[in-house]
Amino acid sequence: MAHVGTLRAMTPVFTGGVPTGFLDPAAVPAMLSGVVVEKVVGFIKLATCSASSDGDLPAFSCSPAFITPKEEYMLKGKTAVVTGSTSGIGLGIANALAAQGADILLNGFGDAPQIRALTQGLAAEHGVRVVHSAADISVASEVVAMVGQCVEAFGRIDILVNNAGIQHTATVRDFPDDKWEQILAVNLSSNFYAIKAAMPHMRSRNWGRIINIASAHGLVASATKSAYVAAKHGVVGLTKVVALETAHSGVTCNAICPGWVLTPLVQKQINDRAAREGISEGEARMRLLADKQPSKAFVTPEQIGGIAAFLCSPDADQIRGTTLSVDGGWTAQ
């Protein structure tokens, strides 16, 4: 008796420019007989196939008898705003979402030629539309206008990644008041205003992904980082509230908590430490990792991007209000 189901396919093999390939035999249960496979899920798409069993060995045939390159991307037709995305973690996330077919609104600093090269390069590499917003994330009205720019450019906003962040280190006694206000505005308040502006658009389609880039410092503390730690703890709290308020909808909200990622922000801390302690940059880098991150290896922007893309997948539909630590064991101590 025929049965409709799905199979996963292996990565395709191209011979002489012609796409060819094989189904993974392990994906075909040997006990199934006369199974009609309606679709294949994974990185490639395949026409209708049939599978049967002959003793312990599964057999299958496909028509047409080749595997076609991927035709549909997970985020095709969706749009994403990624703040602080002209370098570092934000650019890694923008690349990962664009690779899945999402149109991208970049935000961040850079001169005109740099921004033009970045937007054109991202668009050409992934075949998506890319625009840039120069919004100052510390100003609420500009954050709201940035979300509006996305809707105007693409007709919608489906994914919001609040990534922009700044840092200043000093003891509480010596911490400048203006730096405190600036860090909370960029690292925390901007998330609130962006979420508030994007939420109606997501709710109207009953689908959305809000991803807040918090930090290991959203879960634990370090001396001399009062504003940053306070802001990132606030981001984790905001994430939980938004997740509860959207729990009965297709909108999810989660936070990624990276440890040390070698970004311009962290590189400045390395340089400052090298100067302060009179050591080389390489030694300062290793000491920074050894202090907090047991793996003694930096997290990469690409790894954070991969996790953000996963949170946009159907597999993450019921991941809500949680923190995903990517910190080389930092918060396991």
DSSP string, 81-122: EESS-SSHHHHHHHHHHHHTT-EEEEE----HHHHHHHHHHH
Distances (CA, A) of 306 to 143, 303, 310: 25, 5, 6
Could you give the 3-state DSSP secondary structure of residue 294? coil
Quote the strand ranges of the chain, DSSP E.
3-8, 13-15, 18-20, 35-41, 49-54, 57-62, 79-82, 103-107, 130-133, 159-162, 208-213, 251-258, 323-326
**Catalytic annotation, pick one of 228, 260, 298, 330:** 228
Report which of 172, 173, 182 is spatially closest to residue 139, judged by C-alpha positions: 182
DSSP string, 140-162: HHHHHHHHHHHHHHHS---EEEE
In angstroms, the first-to-last Cα distance of the chain is 55
State the Cα–Cα distance between residues 58 and 65, nearest whole angstrom.
17
> Is 73 labeled as catalytic in the residue annotation?
no
Could you give the 3-state DSSP secondary structure of residue 262? coil
How would you class 287 by CB atoms within 10 Å of its CB: exposed for 0-12, middle for 13-18, buried for 19 or more?
middle
Report which of 259, 236, 228 is spatially closest to residue 326, judged by C-alpha positions: 259
Which sequence positions are flagged as catalytic?
A: 228
